[in-house]
Structure 1
Amino acid sequence: MSTPRAVTGPPPAVPDWAGRALKSVLDRVAVARTDVGDRFPLFADPGGGRWTTTGRGSWTGGFWAGLLWLRARYSGQGIDREAAKRFTARLTGWVDADTATRGLILWYGTALADTPEAAVLRLRAADACRDAYDCELGLVPWGSAFGGPRLLARVDGVPGMVPLLASVDPRAAGSHLRRHLELCAGDGCFRWSWRYERPGGWASCDDPPPGWSRGRAWLLLAVADAAHHLDTDDPAESVSHLLREPAVPPADEAHPEGPLDTSAAAITTVALLKLGHREQAVTLLDELVRTHVTADGRLLNGCYDLAAGTATQHELIWGDFFLAYALATLTGLVGPHDA
């Protein structure tokens, strides 16, 4: 791993708007907690902010638990802490689920927690993911928990999985990332999903499409985590073709006139902060806060699934999480590698 350079002088100034934005976003978490009750929020309509929810959390449940832990750390209130503990415990059912999204669910749902129970849950999840690692494929397969073929490599099965696996098997974590980098971003071409067939090997899939907004963001985040959690080379080479100008991307680059995806931008800000690209992260955060965050703390214009027409201009729970985490990092509430 490259040796970090010593930091001299005073810490960078925190923009005036960052603290106000963090308060607004985390106040929204408290409102959402009341609105959804015992269910997990998934996305909210851009008009009235009403949540569509799930009973078990789906692949996004860890982001709700993570938001609750951020809210608890910010407020110091017992009611927030108890809610965070309760929803984190409810992620236990995903430990043995056959899905690479256990990285998203069980890393982000436990990383900010400070309880022994959450630490045990995180270790159990890491062990289960290590057991699911396929030596022949060089990765943890996408899995069958959400239907469809099991032997897939999808880019959204990399973030969260890298730090989770790294805690118990750094070699498997590094292999999981490298294989996805080779498949999803090799030769300068982006293909975010691949199916393994016997015989024949890997074949690219059309869903998600090459212009999918979150493809780059998820992979950039995983590279940023690998640079911290694994004994890797300097990530600059892996990062260079994943970076873009700090702006909110369209949900699909093939449809630049279509909906934007603020959730992809929020993920990117966290990755940039982890990589030390603070100026770019602040530029992107400033655009999100000024243009897409409402007075009551809702990050709008996230696109869940453009092809299916699902929640194309909505508040998305993972967009909220990464926005809140980036703001919390910028203001010093958390460190860039706490989650």
Structure 2
Amino acid sequence: MSGSLPAVPPAWAAPALASMLDRVAVTRAAVGDRFPLFADPYDGTWTTSGRGSWTGGFWAGLLWLRARRTGTPADREAARLCTARLAGWTGADTATRGLIFWYGTLHAADGDGGLRERAALACRDSFDAELGLVPWGAAFGGPRLLARVDAVPGLVPLLATVDAAAARSHLRRHLDLCLGRPPRHWAWRHDPARGWTAVKDPPPGWSRGPAWLLLAVAEAVRHVGFGELADVTTESMAGDLVPLADAARPDGPRDSSAAAVTATALLLLGHRSRAVAVLEELVRSHLSVDGRLLDGCYDLASATAVRHELIWGDFFLAYALALLTGLVAPA
């Protein structure tokens, strides 16, 4: 697999990326030192978090992408300050530290002050050798000994910077659980007496389940040489370009954020044609003229932000477009 993407991007890619990174400046002015989570699809007003929750790294990542495009000291400083505000999460008991610190530092042009390394070491210290993974953790409440598919992307390459064996084990355990006998389940609870038991939430038809897993595999291929691709790659090459938020609810909303995650993974894996088809559909049908990726579904079960702009949807669409246009190279 080549380390770079083909040089000639589609004509729509650069203008779409420019509109999204212009939107980043508007968002930064609106949220100040807070972290955007999701925005109203009509007026673009953000719901925010003081500490960033599990999505804080995506906001930092967007700021770094804008800084890379503009090259201005002001944009670099805004990205640096935002990334520094993530430091409090290094010791948090959550496997979402992969999402926070890998994507929050991925495009840091001026370095991250050692934040990624500290986070990687802390995650390695949380690795449970008996279970073969870093547990989901208790930082957001609920049972600690969970394996969840959204604990895999970001954490695999982050762990690989300090312990490749732990990174491989973390991915392998989640692949074994999530790709087992149908129907698939995206979260599993461990009990010392009974072992692993499937958890019903998120449901088997969850749009981001296969998207997160495909991204984790793409990152593992690049960083730890993991080659078990067939199931998740084949699934991503068929079906709708923008999936339903829950495949079991055909009358429900779609999830543009899952499509953006999938497109990024496909580009990293070298499946350019399918990735471009997904990205073109997102840009044509779901990206507003002012750079907002609409129609993302935060949580269908609780009816939270089901047709909204989501910060991770924005990040992964911008990241994919940056890969496609050559603004950034594959990590």
- TM-score, normalisation: structure 2: 0.97
1:227 aligned to 2:221?
yes
1:96 aligned residue: 91
SS of equivalent to 1:187: coil
CA 1:19 to 1:148, structure 2 compared with 1: closer, same or farther past 3 Å? same
Provide the C-alpha distance between the structure 2 equivalents of 1:336 and 1:148, rounded to a whole number of angstroms.
35
1:105 aligned residue: 100
Question: Where in structure 2 are the equivalents of 1:1-339 lying within 5 Å?
Answer: 4=1, 11-116=6-111, 118-233=112-227, 235-236=229-230, 239-241=233-235, 243-245=237-239, 247-337=241-331
Provide the C-alpha distance between the structure 2 equivalents of 1:297 and 1:213, rounded to a whole number of angstroms.
23
Question: Does the 8 Å CA contact 1:246/1:281 hold for their aligned counterparts?
Answer: no
Provide the C-alpha distance between the structure 2 equivalents of 1:232 and 1:39, rounded to a whole number of angstroms.
37
Provide the C-alpha distance between the structure 2 equivalents of 1:104 and 1:64, rounded to a whole number of angstroms.
11
Moved over 4 A (4+): none
CA 1:301 to 1:181, structure 2 compared with 1: closer, same or farther past 3 Å? same
Q: Which runs of 5+ in 1 are unaligned?
A: none
Question: Does the 8 Å CA contact 1:188/1:241 hold for their aligned counterparts?
Answer: no
Question: Does the 8 Å CA contact 2:217/2:226 hold for their aligned counterparts?
Answer: no
Provide the C-alpha distance between the structure 2 equivalents of 1:216 and 1:288, rounded to a whole number of angstroms.
18
1:188 Cα offset (Å): 4.8
Task: Between 235-244 and 326-335, report the one with greater CA deviation.
Answer: 235-244
SS of equivalent to 2:38: strand
SS of equivalent to 2:106: coil
Identity %: 65
